[in-house]
Chain A
Amino acid sequence: NAGVMQNPRHLVRRRGQEARLRCSPMKGHSHVYWYRQLPEEGLKFMVYLQKENIIDESGMPKERFSAEFPKEGPSILRIQQVVRGDSAAYFCASSRSAGALNTEAFFGQGTRLTVV
């Protein structure tokens, strides 16, 4: 049973380009979370998705950022027109269905985005 898979592990983009980060949750997991971590800082919640639905995007910047979790395929975090301040580690986590107690989240290894 593969863990949470994120790709690419490292991504370099020039200012103004688009960044696409992918996350495949663990088998049997239908909840996906995206977090951003700036250097020397803690994890900041961005968005929480279930299949085909955004449940909570309160941590997502209103502009340039979007996320999806289609019925088939990985969850995608998309950043348009990247700026230097978007440089960070982006972690994806997944967990089992809602309602299950003690539902721990498992993390992918993250994508380190560098904007030059």
Chain B
Amino acid sequence: RKEVEQDPGPFNVPEGATVAFNCTYSNSASQSFFWYRQDCRKEPKLLMSVYSSGNEDGRFTAQLNRASQYISLLIRDSKLSDSATYLCVVNGPGGFKTIFGAGTRLFVKA
């Protein structure tokens, strides 16, 4: 089983749609969680951290379910500029080793 697994997609959605990405991780002792965004031929950049209580940043909502070892990202009212690859990221116990999922590609169409 991969340490971090994501649906590779791609997700093709119209502007204004709501889209959800899921991610599972294998190490129950993992400590911190993030979503990164990667645009074509660019480096990944932090989108948001994921907290146990869930957190929201504008149109983006992240959720963490430690019991199920599951992380989600919800994007509401999708924009063309949201088209990118979204990477689920997990830090191991003690903060050691950052592990990236393979990413989910999103295409938002006019």
| Chain A residues close to B by CB (< 8 Å) | 31, 33, 35, 41-43, 45, 48, 55-56, 89, 91, 93, 95, 97-110
Q: 3 smallest A-B Cβ distances: which pairs?
A: A42-B102, A107-B43, A42-B103
Closest beta carbon of chain B to A81's beta carbon, Å: 27
With known contacts A99-B95, A100-B95, A104-B46, A43–B31 Cβ distance under 8 A? no
Is residue B109 within 8 Å, beta carbon to beta carbon, of the partner chain?
A: no
Closest beta carbon of chain A to B10's beta carbon, Å: 11
A48 touching B97, Cβ below 8 Å: yes
Complex alpha-carbon distance, A113 and B64, angstroms: 37
> With contacts defined as CB atoms under 8 Å apart, how many contacts are there between chain A and chain B in the complex?
63
B91 touching A103, Cβ below 8 Å: yes
B98 touching A33, Cβ below 8 Å: yes
Q: Mark B70-92, 1 if CB is under 8 A from A, else 0.
A: 00000000000000010101010
Q: Mark B29-60, 1 if CB is under 8 A from A, else 0.
A: 00110100010011111100100000000000
Instruction: Kindly report which residue of chain B lies nearest to residue A104, judged by CB atoms.
Output: B46
Complex alpha-carbon distance, A112 and B99, angstroms: 21
B98 touching A95, Cβ below 8 Å: yes
Instruction: Kindly report which residue of chain A lies nearest to residue B89, judged by CB atoms.
Output: A105
Of A31, A43, A89, A97, which is within 8 A of B100 by CB? A43
B87 touching A98, Cβ below 8 Å: no
B44 touching A107, Cβ below 8 Å: yes
Complex alpha-carbon distance, A48 and B94, angstroms: 14
Residues of A within 8 Å of B49, CB to CB, are 102, 104
Residues of A within 8 Å of B43, CB to CB, are 91, 107-110
Closest beta carbon of chain A to B6's beta carbon, Å: 8
